[in-house]
A and B are shown apart, each in its own frame.
Chain A
Amino acid sequence: MSEIDSKVPNKPPKTKSDFSRRGFLKGVGISGGVLSTGVLETEAEAEPTAKVDGPGAVPITLNINGKMHKLEVEPRVTLCDALRNRLEITAAKRVCDRGTCGACTVIINGKAVYSCTTLAIDAQGKRIETLEGFSTPAHPHALTKAFLDHDAEQCGYCTPGFVVAAKAFLDHNPNPTEADLKTGLGGNLCRCGTYMGIRKAVMQAAKEMKSAKVAKGTAHA
């Protein structure tokens, strides 16, 4: 299944076609600092005291939906895999596993992030929100209800990623035009073809979230 991933940490890929950004990231195991292939080397040099973890499992604490979770993971484990395999928090789905499709979207410190290209050790000390944290069948979020109303879901496998991405989008863009949302949700893919419903659902939820905010503001005043 994974004959292209490099197995030894820091071992350079054999050929260009063997190169896997994920394998590279997973093999490095540096905690702290933003990991991206472009800045990795300079950051490592600039921080000679950076703690090097791994390759074995290390204890970490993740703040997920306001609750602290202690677990042990190897530094190469992505946040997506930590959520799904270790903590059984499974709304975020692993689909492309390479930061393309958005099915694994979570919110970290208020920003939508692909959890399949975020290392679990790197998510420490940050506020991680998954769909379970803001919407449940008993207390569905306005977006969840709007997705139901506009049938913005079929098989439903991309749906949690879309709902989370839409929440992050609306948190930053409470008054979107439809053109805004087409750009704002461009980082998620659906295979069944539910985009028509999603457009309507997100616009409806935007309205409802806004009026709920106004009502809340009035109540406080």
Chain B
Amino acid sequence: MPDTTTPNYHWPPMADRRVIGKSHSRLDGIQKASGAAKYNSDIKPAGMLFGAILTCPHAHARVTSIDTSEAEKIPGVTAVRVIMGPGKEVQWGGAEVASVSATSEEAANDAVKAIKVEYEELPFLVREDDISKAGNRAKAAGEQVTGDPDKAFQEAAYTHEGDYGIPVITHCCLESHGNVVAWEGDKLSLWPSTQNVSGIGGDLGRAINVSAANIHVHQDHIGGGFGSKFPADLWGVEAAELSKQSGGKPVKIFLDRKTELLIAGNRPSAFGHIKVAADKDGKITAWESKTWSTGGLAGGGLSADLFPYVYRKVPNRRINHTAISTNTGSARAWRAPNHEQVSYLTCSAIEDLAAKMKMDPLEVFLKNADLTMREEAYTSQLKKAAELADWKKNWHQRGDSGSGAVKRGLGIGVGTWGGAGHASQCQATIHPDGSVEVELGSQDLGTGTRTIIAMVAAETLGLPVSAINVKIGDSTYPPSGASGGSTTVGGVSSSTRKATVNALDKLFAAVAPSLGTTPDKLEAVDRRIVVKGDTSKSLTWEAACRKLGTNKISESGENNPRTAPREGLNTGGVAGVQIADVSVDTETGLVKMNRLIAVHDCGLIINPKTAESQIFGACIMSVCSALFEERVADQQIGRVLNPDMEFYKLAGIMDIGEIIVHLDISPENDKRGVIGLGEPPAIPGDAAIGNAVANAIGVRVPQLPLTADRVLAALASKGGNA
């Protein structure tokens, strides 16, 4: 007998789904592509003032004096605040020193320039690529040894040693970090650019001693975050204080591009000397890595515990990592923190070992799949990716790429990620007129969250997606987690499923008597409430809802990460394999992307259309970081030289080649439930592209990005052409 006390929240069987699993265009797509979508950097509440921040030009300095008197005299200026007074030490270029608000942006900028600051410059370190120059700024994390690496290296048939590097890159969100803040009495309105609608109010409140209950957060759209937009930040505090000093008028502070690139988030670097060994059959037997990285002043940077990446079960390992403290803006979470760097260093070393053994790297990755935590997944994905790349036909021994100047090559990268659902609450309301609202304090980063929530509600209630009124982006809605770690889709889909199942059960209970049956015999299909197995007995959705009289149904649903694993709506843990196909001009050093093939297991896919977009986007981000992106700092003057978009390069529409996505949709994957997809496909691309270039030109270009000068230098180092 079915359990009637616990509602059945399970996802409907694949074959029975009418909405989930079918591609649906994003709900806010027309708004965005017609310019009608209002971001918080677009809004202008009545009386809004413009804020601006004075930043420090030095990498490390002590403020000796600061004079704001001239700034205060500028017409239109309403408030000037000193952040770093005399005696305060500024630890990186771009750090906030003072802030102003004014009636026009021009006046605010003039006021910032009129503030006179004297600094005593202090010693600094802004580069970490050469660890020998790091001195006492380097902090070793201590050695981790497993098995007997010395013996294993001694006994190995093949050993490869190599140096690899991946620089700091910056998030470069197109909508810069910032917010508009206004006071009304003791209450505060905050219009941020955030991945954390439910949490950012509390974060700001702690900083300015205001209860979170008195802070109202609104955000319809966010122009990019990628992991860098969780906290309220100093610009939140400054906007709130400037507003208070200006009679509560709204104050807008959004960082200018230069400051955005200097202080609003970056991905830590990773450099290292890797040694890897195999037996005569190509089985990996030993691993040794000496790596270093910087995440800014705090050092940090990299989780070396992840070495060797994916191939975790290499029996003999020695791992050393050194964190280097630099006078540069702090690292922030970046779409798959640690994983791209660790994947790049690991997969590069494995392909170089394969080249030394004169073995096909595909065979080496396959042969060692038992060293991963998911042997079957990696085996099938490697085979699928190889099939899509036509590996057998297109792969050749390293450097064996013909006599022409343009060389083609293929390379492999692998990745893994968690991605289960975060804590999320949803309130679903069915009104007597048949309208439906679902409310969550979540946010749509452009991943399609809004659309997914509507699809889940529509699936449950037997309604079209257009009948669901999705309300997100407001802190008065039930709390939902910050969007990080690829946990949003799992969280919001599960809470929405539960809330709508609960609401529907209430509706069934209300209408069952009039259909002469019991609630458990009812189902919601095609805008009707139908008696199961007897389609002659039904009510239209509207007629059913009218039975509610004047009482709406409002039910909640919650995803709790602790209980979610046994409920089965969402889960974590994915594998991914990518193969890059590049052509390299050995005369100019230019690398051209031909194809990037991405194979990922993604659990239950709610919206294939936006899921595919996530993978496209992640692959393009990998092209950006593999070929173009690098924060360049000058140790002579202590400055970052390219905090802009001319010299901090991103890929354009012509630079990406073709991207071939294989969403591994299968009953077996589907039954795992929903798994986040933001992070996983961003991981393997750097490694795959680096390996493809090595395969093409016959020599490793050790450091990303693979710019023309580095490619030519690598070619020169092996004495001429490939």
The tally of CB-CB contacts under 8 A between chains A and B is: 207
* Docked-complex contact A143 and B33, CB < 8 angstroms: yes
Query: Given A148-B29, A156-B221 in contact, is the A131-B35 Cβ separation under 8 Å?
Result: yes
**Contact residues of A: prevailing secondary structure:** loop
- Give the residue among A3, A76, A84, A149 with the most B Cβ atoms within 10 A: A3
Scoring A residues 187 to 205 as 1 if CB is less than 8 Å from chain B, else 0, what string do you get?
A: 0111111111111000000
Shortest C-beta distance, B645 to chain A (Å), equals 4
Q: Least Cβ distance of B707 to chain A in Å?
A: 18
| Mask of A86-122 contacts with B, CB within 8 angstroms, 1/0 | 0010111111111011010000000000000000000
Chain B residue contacts of A189, Cβ below 8 A: 174, 645, 650, 652
Contacts of A131-183 to chain B: CB distance below 8 A: 131-132, 135-137, 140-141, 143-145, 147-149, 151-160, 163, 181-183
Tell me the dominant secondary structure on chain B's binding face: loop
User: Is B80 part of the contact surface with A, judged by Cβ < 8 Å?
Assistant: no
Contact B54–A1 (Cβ < 8 Å): yes
How distant is the Cα of A135 from the Cα of B32 in the complex, in angstroms?
11
Interface residues of A in 18-57 (CB under 8 A from B): none
Interface residue count on the A side (C-beta < 8 Å)? 68
State A195–B656 Cα separation when bound (angstroms): 8
Closest A residue to B641 using CB positions: A17
How many Å from the CB of B84 to the closest CB on chain A?
14
B residues 622-677 touching A (CB-CB < 8 Å)? 639, 644-646, 650-654, 656, 659
CB of B290 closer than 8 Å to a CB of A: no
Contacts of B620 in A (CB 8 A): 190, 193, 195-196
When chains A and B are docked, how far (Å) is the Cα of A63 from the Cα of B128?
A: 52
- Which residues of the other chain, A, contact B609 by a CB distance below 8 angstroms? 151
Q: From A133, which residue of chain B is reached at the shortest CB distance?
A: B35
B365, CB-defined interface residue at 8 Å: no
Chain B residues near A136: list those with CB within 8 A.
34, 36
Residues of A within 8 A of B32 (CB): 147, 153, 156, 159-160
Cβ A151 vs Cβ B25 within 8 A: yes
With the chains together, A97 CA to B260 CA distance in Å?
12
Q: Is B574 an interface residue (CB 8 A)?
A: no
Give the shortest distance, in Å, between A85 (CB) and chain B (any CB). Answer: 6
Checking B57, B173, B612 against A191 with a beta-carbon cut-off of 8 angstroms, the contacting residue is B173
Q: Which residues of B contact A1 (CB under 8 A)?
A: 52-55, 109, 112, 255-256, 258-259
Q: Which of B24-82 contact A (CB under 8 A)?
A: 25-26, 28-39, 41-42, 44, 50, 52-55, 57
Q: Which residues of A contact B110 (CB under 8 A)?
A: 7
Task: Specify the chain B residue showing the minimal Cβ separation from A87.
Answer: B44
B114 at interface (Cβ–Cβ under 8 A)? yes
Task: Establish whether residues A76 and B106, one from each chain, have CB atoms under 8 Å apart when the complex forms.
Answer: yes
Complexed CA–CA distance, A199 and B226 (Å): 23
Q: Are A3 and B175 neighbours in the complex by a CB distance under 8 Å?
A: no
Indicate which residue in B37, B616, B639 contacts A194 across the interface (CB closer than 8 Å).
B616
Selected from B41, B53, B105, B653, the residue in CB contact (under 8 A) with A188 is B653
B635 to chain A minimum Cβ distance, whole angstroms, is 15
Which residues of A sit under 8 angstroms from B255, Cβ to Cβ? 1
Q: Using Cβ atoms and an 8 Å threshold, which residues of chain A touch B312?
A: none
Provide the bound-state CA to CA distance between A220 and B474, in Å. 50
Of the candidates A93, A149, A196, the one whose C-beta lies within 8 Å of that of B659 is: A196
Interface hub of A17, A90, A196, A198 (most chain B Cβ within 10 A): A196
A203 to B445 alpha-carbon distance, docked (Å): 26
Q: Considering the chains assembled together, what is the distance between the CA atoms of A143 and B610 in angstroms? A: 19
The answer to whether the Cβ of B613 comes within 8 Å of any Cβ in the partner chain is yes
CA distance A171 to B401 in the complex (A): 43
What chain A residues lie within 8 Å of B644 (beta carbons)? 96, 98, 100
| A137 pairs with B31, CB closer than 8 A | yes
| Chain B residues within an 8 Å CB radius of A95 | 174-176, 257, 645
Chain B positions within 8 Å of A197 at CB level: 613, 616
A172 nearest CB across to chain B (Å)? 17
Q: Does A218 contact B (CB under 8 A)?
A: no
- Docked CA distance A198–B172 (Å): 20
Q: Which residue of B lies closest to A179 (CB)?
A: B654
* A91–B34 CA distance with the chains assembled, in angstroms: 8
Q: Which bucket holds chain B's interface residue count?
A: 35 or more
B126 within 8 A of A: no
Are B42 and A101 interface neighbours, CB within 8 A? no
Q: How far is the CB of B623 from chain A (nearest CB, A)?
A: 8
Contact between B224 and A192 (Cβ–Cβ < 8 Å)? yes
B618 interfacial by beta-carbon distance below 8 Å? yes
A101 to B38, CA, bound (A): 20
Contact (Cβ within 8 A) B35 A132? yes
Which chain B residue has the least Cβ–Cβ distance from A4? B258
- Is the C-beta of B223 less than 8 angstroms from some C-beta in chain A? yes
In the complex, which residue of chain A has the Cβ closest to the Cβ of B114?
A7
> Is B621 in contact with chain A by the CB < 8 A criterion?
yes
Closest to A131 in B: B35
CB-nearest residue of chain B to A103: B174
In the assembled complex, A77 has its CB within 8 A of some CB on chain B? yes
Whether A125 is near chain B, meaning CB under 8 Å from some CB there, is no
Closest to B445 in A: A155
Interface string of B161-191 (1 = CB under 8 A from A): 0000000000011111000000000000000
Contact check, B256 vs A144: say whether CB atoms are below 8 A apart: no
Contacts of B545 in A (CB 8 A): none
Check B336 for interface membership: any CB of A closer than 8 A: no
Of chain B, the residue at the smallest CB distance from A181 is B653
Query: Which residue of chain B has the shortest Cβ distance to A90 in the bound complex?
Result: B42
* Beta-carbon contact of B52 and A2 below 8 Å: yes
Q: Most chain-A CB neighbours within 10 Å: which of B53, B114, B223, B644?
A: B223
Is B447 part of the binding interface, using a Cβ–Cβ cutoff of 8 Å? yes
A5 CA to B110 CA in the complex, in Å?
Answer: 10
What is the bound-complex CA distance between A162 and B101, given in angstroms? 32
Q: Is B432 in contact with chain A by the CB < 8 A criterion?
A: no
- Whether B174 pairs with A191 at a CB distance below 8 angstroms is yes
Kindly state the separation between the CA atoms of A20 and B34 in the bound complex, as whole angstroms.
33
The one of B26, B37, B52, B653 that contacts A195, using a Cβ cutoff of 8 Å = B653
C-alpha spacing A194/B621, complex, angstroms: 10
Closest to B235 in A: A1
Partner of B175 from A76, A131, A155, A181 at Cβ < 8 Å: A155
Whole-angstrom CA separation of A190 from B114 in the bound complex: 35
A130–B226 Cα gap in the complex (Å)?
Answer: 28
A163 touches B175 (CB 8 A): no
Which residue numbers of A lie inside 8 Å of B, CB to CB?
1-5, 7, 17, 74, 76-77, 81, 84-85, 88, 90-98, 100-101, 103, 130-132, 135-137, 140-141, 143-145, 147-149, 151-160, 163, 181-183, 185-186, 188-199
Shortest beta-carbon contacts, A-B, top 5: A91-B35, A193-B620, A157-B223, A193-B617, A156-B32
Residue pairs across A and B with Cβ atoms less than 8 A apart, 23 shown, are A1-B256, A3-B55, A81-B105, A88-B44, A90-B42, A93-B41, A95-B176, A96-B257, A140-B34, A147-B29, A148-B29, A148-B30, A154-B446, A155-B174, A155-B221, A156-B446, A185-B652, A189-B652, A191-B174, A192-B224, A193-B656, A195-B652, A196-B659
Write the residues of chain B forming the contact surface with A, with a CB cutoff of 8 angstroms: 25-26, 28-39, 41-42, 44, 50, 52-55, 57, 104-106, 109-110, 112-114, 172-176, 221-226, 255-259, 445-447, 609-610, 612-613, 616-621, 639, 644-646, 650-654, 656, 659
